[in-house]
Amino acid sequence: MDKAKRAQTAETLKQPSLRLTLRAPYLYPDYHWGRYRGIAQDMKLPPLSELLLRNVFFDTCVYHQPGIDLLAKVIPIDNILFASEMVGAVRGIDPETNHYYHDTRRYIDHVAAVSDEDRRKIFEGNARKVYGRLDAYLEGRSHSRESSSRPEPALQ
């Protein structure tokens, strides 16, 4: 990488308010984490844990248990956001498991090394942290429901 490109990349990575959610199955961060660490080191950048993990997040659209297990092993739990395509790229049923491929919740539920608190972070807590306006909206709805005796209308 030439010097100008290296400087541009370094400046882009230093944007503290920029938050990125990366599609895990397309980037394979878990498989290439060592490579990314080496590139950062070669560029004289801080370690990835300092450089990226404050504002880069990975989703769980990984359609098999070993992939989710590896993601949870390599990427910190605080950087994993629940995702499911719900009739997305793969619409069929996996003949090995007899479940829909896109049913990613069950994969997270079966990661042995993840605690119940970590699952709560993946399913909800991390998204609320990353998307502050979503958290504020949901908190507002929660408070309005508590003060109102009327049931909330169903989403269409």
* Domain annotation covers residue 62: yes
* Domain annotation covers residue 64: yes
pLDDT of the residue at 120: 96
Predicted TM-score (pTM) of this structure: 0.75
For the segment 107-132, the average pLDDT, to the nearest whole number, is: 94
* Domain annotation covers residue 152: no
* Domain annotation covers residue 43: yes
Query: Which contacts (CB < 8 Å, 24+ apart) does range 99-102 have?
Result: 101/63, 102/61, 102/63
pLDDT of the residue at 124: 94
* Domain annotation covers residue 154: no
Question: Are the C-beta atoms of residues 31 and 70 closer than 8 Å to each other?
Answer: yes
* Domain annotation covers residue 100: yes
* Domain annotation covers residue 14: no
Residue 46 tokens, joined: 């801080």
What CATH number should be reported for the domain holding residue 118? Answer: 3.20.20.140
Active site residues: 85
pLDDT of the residue at 92: 86
How do residues 104-114 score in pLDDT, each as one tens digit? 899 999 999 99
How many domains, in total, are found in the chain? 1
Indicate if the pLDDT at residue 156 is higher than 50.
no
**Given the structure tokens 């699952």, which residue do they identify?**
119
* Domain annotation covers residue 153: no
Query: Which contacts (CB < 8 Å, 24+ apart) does range 6-14 have?
Result: 6/43, 9/43, 10/43, 10/45, 13/45, 13/51, 13/52, 14/51
How do residues 16-72 score in pLDDT, each as one tens digit? 677 777 765 555 666 677 877 888 888 888 887 787 777 888 888 888 898 899 889
pLDDT of the residue at 39: 83
pLDDT of the residue at 150: 56
Give the range of the structural domain holding residue 139, as residue numbers without chain letter.
3-8+19-147
**Given the structure tokens 């980037």, which residue do they identify?**
27
Q: Which of the four pLDDT bands, split at 50, 70 and 90, describes residue 151?
A: low
Q: What is the DSSP string of 15-76?
A: -TT--EEE-HHHH-HHHHHHHHHHHHHHTTPPPHHHHTTTTEEEE----SHHHHHHHHHHS-
Q: Which of the four pLDDT bands, split at 50, 70 and 90, describes residue 148?
A: low
Tell me the three state secondary structure of residue 9.
Answer: helix
How do residues 65-106 score in pLDDT, each as one tens digit? 988 998 899 889 999 999 887 666 777 888 999 998 888 899
Indicate if the pLDDT at residue 145 is higher than 90.
no
Indicate if the pLDDT at residue 119 is higher than 70.
yes
